[in-house]
Amino acid sequence: MESIGKFIRITSNWGQNLQRTHLLIVNYAMDEKHQVFSHQVEVVNNLAKHFDQILVLTGKVGIYSMPENVKVISYDWVEGKQIISLFKFYKIFLNAILRNKFTCVFSHMTSVQSTLIAPITKIMRLKHFLWYAHTSNNFYLRASRLLLDGIITSTPGSCPISGKKIYPIGQAIDSKKFVKKDNFKGLISKLVHIGRFDPSKKIDVIVEIARKFKLINSKITLEIIGSPSSKKYEIFAKGMRNNFMEDTQNGWLKFTPSIPRESIPNTIKTYDCFLHSFEGSLDKALVEATLSGIPVLTINSEYRKIFGSWDLFNPTSNPTLEEEGQLLFKLSDQIVINEINRRHGIAMAEHELAGWINRLVGILKGPSKV
């Protein structure tokens, strides 16, 4: 928590009173309906307020709306055809770099593309940063640390490498959309999980834990909202739903396909608690639930480093997900409300979209660490 807070204080004014520049963005998708990268549309729209011109080289295009100073070009990324896709990307990149006078490149979760173009950005003395928030430490990420000006991430533990070129700036959640619900009231009974229906999300663990919670409160229900992120996980998702068919038939468990991104803020507030079992980098969904004012049950270490666990009277403990729920259920309504408000304050200070954009712009326009 202290690392993020200190960095926020240092960089909060970097983006102010600086000359506007031209920005090149490299990402995987520009599509409001994309299950993983829908937020990129929102991010680019906000960055457009801080740059004269932006060119986005994206792997896939869908539904999006951009201001006049933003141009989007697709390099048609095809899963399973990486070499062909990279060749097309590199050709489009070279054409763009020769026709435009960029002063900075911002790559989002595209470590392979970043490594590929890094020699060119180095020769042309362009500042080049990569956003990376994942636990996978691969060759391309390590190469990016050596070749780029820096790696931007959400929290120190959300990037598997460390050093002076790592910039933790929080998550980017729009508090105008994820508005805090009225005060928590009554017994927790409606649980929800919203996210990709992939193996890493440990849906089976979530269901098993919810089943144990039903022994404490027979009114417990759980809804899993999400779809597989790719075709290779569709068989996994189907098998998982079949494994819990009896629970769905009994009515307390429900599987729902992904809902539109714009529907999530209002949907999430209709539940009493967000259940989550993903370890690794800080999941955006956890911060969205926290800003929405509902209790979060998770074993995610990055979330706990920032917000703590529900073992409120023993801050150094590290309870299991089951223990975490048992602790929450025993707390009085007022104590839960106080904790929800405390966590909401942290989320607003460190993970709200407007502040995140200012910190990002400060890095892109400000001095390098090297």
Task: Identify the CATH assignment for 2-171+352-365 out of 3.40.50.2000, 3.90.1150.10, 3.40.50.2300, 3.20.20.70.
Answer: 3.40.50.2000
Identify whether the C-beta of residue 132 lies closer than 8 Å to the C-beta of residue 107: no
Q: Report which secondary-structure segment, H or E, holds 27.
A: strand 22-30
Q: For helices 284-291 and 333-351, what crossing angle results, to 10°?
A: 120
End-to-end CA distance of the chain: 24
At 278 the pLDDT is: 87
Distance of CA 305 to the CA centre of its chain: 16
Q: E-assigned strands of 154-258?
A: 166-168, 190-194, 221-225, 253-256
Identify whether the C-beta of residue 135 lies closer than 8 Å to the C-beta of residue 316: no
Nearest by Cα to 291 from 358, 341, 359, 225: 341
At 2 the pLDDT is: 47
Nearest by Cα to 115 from 154, 76, 89, 92: 89
At 280 the pLDDT is: 83
Distance CA 176, CA 270 (A): 17
Contacts of 166 (CB under 8 A, 6+ apart): 145, 150, 151, 153, 156, 159
Q: What are the residue ranges in the chain where pLDDT is below 70?
A: 1-20, 368-370
- Residue pLDDT, tens place only, 27-56: 999 999 888 899 999 999 999 999 999 999
Q: What fold is seen in the domain 190-350? A: Rossmann fold (3.40.50)
Query: What separation in angstroms does the CA of 30 have from each of 34, 69, 140, 152?
Result: 8, 16, 23, 20
At 17 the pLDDT is: 40
Nearest 10 degrees: Cα torsion 27, 30, 36, 40: 70
Structure token digits, residue 65: 């709306």
The structure's pTM equals 0.88
At 19 the pLDDT is: 53
Identify whether the C-beta of residue 257 lies closer than 8 Å to the C-beta of residue 221: no
How many Cα atoms are found within 13 Å in the side-chain-facing hemisphere of 226? 25
At 316 the pLDDT is: 85
Q: Within the chain, which residue ranges are assigned CATH 3.40.50.2000?
A: 2-171+352-365, 190-350
At 20 the pLDDT is: 52
Helix (H, G, I), strand (E, B) or coil at 158: helix
How many Cα atoms are found within 13 Å in the side-chain-facing hemisphere of 218? 1
Identify whether the C-beta of residue 302 lies closer than 8 Å to the C-beta of residue 282: yes
Q: What's the chain's length in residues? A: 370
